[in-house]
């Protein structure tokens, strides 16, 4: 763990969620790797190049903390179990077909998970394995995102029992792997670790095309996340966050129509130190700010929770101005105690490695847009801190 203080640079803390669009040349390299046209080493050389570019551009925005843009990952949800979205390098005891939909998005496309076929369940790649390659390229503190146990719980078939590997045994293994993922990320030098929990909001959607969303799984999701949190001290958990959003893939969402009141009261039951909450793209922001103010906990098993509210929409190419960011945070502070307020982006800029970013025209243009958005988030956060007298 580092001694990073998130208030030093901006007064009000601010941090990104994690992902950035992969440049189109990196997306081509992934396809070539899947086709057997380039080697693993050649793919890694391209990933290195993309990480270096991602770090340089983020550092130039003035942000106090950066990520490696997840350029080495198949996706935010599957980095641990497969090298590419096409299934090259799938982990043991998983099948690439017949798995559950993680989500069906508003534009009609879907993303499917692999299917567990037996035990034991083990990660093939921990977040620290890729962070260790990226950290030497950085001059600023780095955060690391990891996937929530509740997402990977969906690898287990919804209704069948796997012979010789009960759901209980799987979930015990899963919680252990998630703990290890977070611990190793800190050991590798991450200043903060946030857990991606996009499936939380989807869990009450009741989409008949996607059966798990109709099984009232949210309480179980919260319990799984808390089983992981329970393994960390309050001091460690002050640096462990949880990210919620309605999805953000191909500039589309999967659960924006699920009211936050279905999720947030339960979500703040997770004993994490901070939350990265999509909000810029919400229609009725005041209601959400108010809900956060009511439900955010001062004492979550020894840690005071912080709410980092989304002030940037990564699905929309329009760049928010610093003043807009400032005003959103000042407004939020009339509902949320200003000592518990932070700023973030609504989501990662591109959680999946293959993403055309259709509203932006190309992933390359979306990257250029991302640098401007991050710069304005940081500047706007500083302005809000001045106005509110924080930091
Ligand atoms: Zn997200």
pLDDT at 225: 98
pLDDT at 308: 98
pTM above 0.85, yes or no: yes
- In the reported structure, the alpha carbon of residue 37 is separated from the centroid of ligand 1 by a whole-number distance in angstroms of 32
pLDDT at 289: 98
pLDDT at 1: 53
What is d(CA 170, CA 278) in angstroms, rounded to the nearest whole number? 31
- In the reported structure, the alpha carbon of residue 243 is separated from the centroid of ligand 1 by a whole-number distance in angstroms of 7
> Tokens 């953000």 map to which residue?
248
Three-state secondary structure of the chain: CCCCCCCCCCCCCECCCCECCCCHHHHHHHHHHHCCCCCHHHHHHHHHHHHHHHHHHHHHCCCCCECCECCCCCECCCCCCCCCCCCCCCCCCEECCCCCEEEECCCCCEEECCEECCCCCCCCCCHHHHHHHHHHHCCCCEEEEEECHHHHHHHCCCCCCECCECHHHHHHHHHHHHHHHHHHHHHCCCCEEEEECCHHHHCCCCCCCCHHHHCCCHHHHHHHHHHHHCCCCHHHHCCEEEEECCCCECCECCCCCCCHHHCHHHHCCCCCCEEEECCCCCCCHHHHHHHHHHHCCCCCCCCCCEEEEEEECCCCCCCCCHHHHHHHHHHHCCCCCHHHEEEEECCCCCCECCCCCHHHCCHHHHHHHHHHHHHHHHHHHHHHHHHHCCC
- In the reported structure, the alpha carbon of residue 163 is separated from the centroid of ligand 1 by a whole-number distance in angstroms of 34
Residues of the chain with pLDDT under 50: none
What's the burial of 208, exposed, middle or buried (CB within 10 Å: 0-12/13-18/19+)? Answer: exposed
- In the reported structure, the alpha carbon of residue 183 is separated from the centroid of ligand 1 by a whole-number distance in angstroms of 22
Neighbours of ion ligand 1 (CB under 5 A): 198, 245, 347
- In the reported structure, the alpha carbon of residue 90 is separated from the centroid of ligand 1 by a whole-number distance in angstroms of 23
- In the reported structure, the alpha carbon of residue 151 is separated from the centroid of ligand 1 by a whole-number distance in angstroms of 13
- In the reported structure, the alpha carbon of residue 162 is separated from the centroid of ligand 1 by a whole-number distance in angstroms of 30
pLDDT at 391: 80
pLDDT at 167: 98
- In the reported structure, the alpha carbon of residue 374 is separated from the centroid of ligand 1 by a whole-number distance in angstroms of 16
- In the reported structure, the alpha carbon of residue 44 is separated from the centroid of ligand 1 by a whole-number distance in angstroms of 25
Phi-psi sector, 302: left (phi>0), alpha (psi -120 to 50), beta = left
The whole-chain average pLDDT of the chain stands at 97
Per-residue CA distances from 290 to 87, 261, 268 (Å): 43, 11, 14
pLDDT at 59: 98
pLDDT at 112: 95
Q: In sequence order, what are the beta bridge partners of 110?
A: 104
- In the reported structure, the alpha carbon of residue 161 is separated from the centroid of ligand 1 by a whole-number distance in angstroms of 30
pLDDT at 3: 84
Domains of the chain and any CATH numbers: 24-388 (3.20.20.210)
State phi, psi for 309 to the nearest 5 degrees: -90, 145
Asked if 56 and 36 count as a contact pair (C-beta separation under 8 A), the reply is: no
Phi-psi sector, 14: left (phi>0), alpha (psi -120 to 50), beta = beta
- In the reported structure, the alpha carbon of residue 198 is separated from the centroid of ligand 1 by a whole-number distance in angstroms of 6
């Amino acid at each position: 763990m580092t001694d990073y203080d998130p208030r030093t640079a901006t007064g009000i803390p601010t941090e990104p969620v994690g992902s950035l669009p992969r440049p189109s040349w990196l997306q081509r390299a992934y396809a070539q790797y899947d086709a057997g046209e380039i080697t693993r080493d050649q793919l890694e050389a391209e990933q290195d190049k993309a990480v270096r570019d991602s770090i340089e551009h983020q550092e130039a925005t003035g942000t106090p903390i950066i990520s490696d843009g997840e350029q080495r990952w198949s996706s935010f949800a599957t980095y641990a179990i497969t090298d590419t979205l096409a299934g090259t390098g799938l982990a043991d005891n998983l099948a690439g077909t017949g798995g559950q939909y993680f989500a069906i998005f508003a534009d009609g496309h879907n993303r499917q998970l692999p299917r567990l076929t037996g035990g034991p369940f083990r990660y093939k790649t921990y977040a620290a394995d890729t962070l260790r390659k990226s950290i030497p390229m950085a001059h600023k503190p780095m955060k690391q995102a990891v996937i929530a146990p509740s997402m990977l719980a969906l690898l287990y078939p919804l209704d069948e029992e796997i012979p010789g590997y009960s759901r209980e045994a799987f979930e015990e293994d899963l919680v252990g792997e998630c703990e290890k993922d977070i611990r190793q990320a800190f050991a590798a030098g991450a200043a903060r670790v946030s857990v991606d929990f996009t499936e939380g909001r989807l869990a009450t959607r009741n989409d008949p095309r996607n059966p798990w969303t109709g099984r009232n799984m949210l309480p179980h999701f919260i319990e799984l996340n808390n089983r992981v949190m329970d393994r960390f001290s309050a001091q460690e958990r002050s640096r462990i966050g949880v990210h919620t959003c309605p999805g953000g893939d191909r500039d589309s969402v999967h659960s924006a129509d699920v009211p936050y009141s279905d999720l947030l009261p339960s979500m703040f039951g997770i004993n994490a130190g901070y939350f990265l909450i999509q909000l810029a793209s919400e229609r009725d922001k005041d209601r959400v700010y108010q809900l956060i103010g009511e439900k955010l906990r001062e004492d979550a098993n020894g840690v005071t929770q912080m709410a980092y509210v989304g002030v940037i929409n990564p699905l929309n190419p329009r760049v928010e101005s610093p003043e807009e960011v400032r005003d959103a945070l000042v407004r939020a502070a009339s509902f949320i105690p200003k000592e518990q307020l932070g700023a973030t982006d609504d989501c990662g800029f591109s959680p999946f490695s293959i993403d055309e970013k259709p509203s932006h025209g190309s992933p390359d243009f979306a990257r250029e847009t991302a640098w401007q958005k991050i710069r304005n988030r940081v500047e706007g956060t500083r302005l809000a801190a001045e106005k509110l007298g924080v930091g």
